Amino acid sequence: MTALTASVRMPVTLSRRHIAAGTFILLGVIDIAVFGLFSHHGDASFQLSISGSGTQLPTVRVPAAPVCYIVGAISVALGVWRGVTEPSKMLRRLGIAAVLVCFFAALLCWADAGNSIGVNLINLVQQSFVASIPLVFGALSGCMCERSGVINIAIEGQLLVGAWMGAFIASVVGSLWIGLVSGSLAGGLLGLLLAVFAITFMVDQIILGVVLNVLALGLTGFLYDRIMVTNANTNTGNTFSPVKIPVLGDIPIIGPIFFDSTIFLYLAYVLIFVIQVGLFSTRWGLRVRAVGEHPTAADTVGIRVLWIRYRNVVLGGCVAGIGGAFLTIGSVGFFNKDISSGFGFIALAAMIFGRWTPLGSVAAALLFGVADSLAIVLSSLNVPIPSYFLLMTPYVATIIAVVGVVGRVRAPAADGKPYIKA
């Protein structure tokens, strides 16, 4: 009887599987009860080609409410399946992707039902890729730093200084490429500052990152007021033009998304491949991961722990600086105060969502890019949602993804822990 009472009084803890299952079912219920029942009568139309392109595909029209019911039922079924089974890692990821696709499909059908303005899916995906570019560079920067054992909260600041320096140098020198390199070096300089205080002086890395973000915000704001506002020639608004890759850019649907964009997207392709292969398929990556997991053991076999941490933090800052340069010379052209708008923190969340892997972080960054683009599309469709709530979409998606889908994750064992050589 005592044993029975004790078993009854034991607290019930929810596993990651149950949390994921509950999230799947909740999103499915929203698809059915909110988007399905409250959608307008009529069809939702989706365009699959960009106006003016060589190949024009027919517009797809679907009944809005039935589609919401179907995708909602699929999400609920996936939630039940996730709750009663323990699938492989690949199947878990596919399940997350399927539920998110169902949710976005229901949302778009609800928003466009009975509307004379169709949703251009190619434009939406293309805008999502563009919106995720600074997040991708920031998340890759975080992976490089934290895989070596240094927490990089300063991604936001690195984006800011990269954006300011890129716009300033490109305007003064008249060369966008020199502005891009300068923005990258500015991010690397802030990374060096992070490395000196975190690795050599062993300052608390989270507090240090916050301080560096405040420093970057104040410094770029001061330089903007004193230099750019008083001299328009230092903030001229030059941007890179889109570069279309021959043949590949003409492929229907895929071409305009992947192979007809700014140079920053192609740099992202290269860095994703280099960092993924470098971290997990080379001797350099093995040493970096050893330093991030067990620096003492790495030191005993001759690996220079502090040097590897310095190098990774500075290189990570250079990568984030490229993302900052995109915010100005790759996008709007001009620098404005706080132009990063919290992208650095979303990139940090994307890195955690991606479990400290480059490919996983990029996938998470794309999710947040989709949320940002959806906010723009929904506002153009005049949905009955206040614009302030639409602007919250990327941040709400961040919270749902990290808490409801990812659950408990494990950072590198030595992440954030200073190393003192014996």
Look at residue 18 in the predicted model and tell me its pLDDT. 81
pTM: 0.87
Look at residue 4 in the predicted model and tell me its pLDDT. 40
Per-residue pLDDT of the chain (422 residues; tens, 9 = 90+): 334 444 444 344 456 778 788 888 988 998 898 888 876 677 888 887 765 555 667 778 888 889 999 999 999 999 999 888 888 878 888 888 898 889 888 888 888 887 777 788 888 888 888 889 999 999 999 999 999 999 999 999 999 999 999 999 999 998 999 999 999 999 999 999 999 999 999 999 999 999 999 999 999 999 999 999 999 899 988 899 888 888 888 787 788 888 888 899 999 999 999 999 999 999 999 999 999 999 999 999 999 999 999 999 999 999 999 999 999 999 888 999 989 988 999 899 889 888 899 998 998 898 888 888 888 888 777 777 776 676 676 676 666 666 655 556 788 999 999 988 76
Going along the chain from its start, the domains and CATH numbers come out as 14-117 (no CATH), 122-406 (1.10.3470)
Alpha-carbon distance values, 51 to 57, 61, 85, 123, 259 (Å): 10, 18, 46, 10, 17
- Sign (positive or negative) of CA dihedral 357, 90, 398, 134: positive
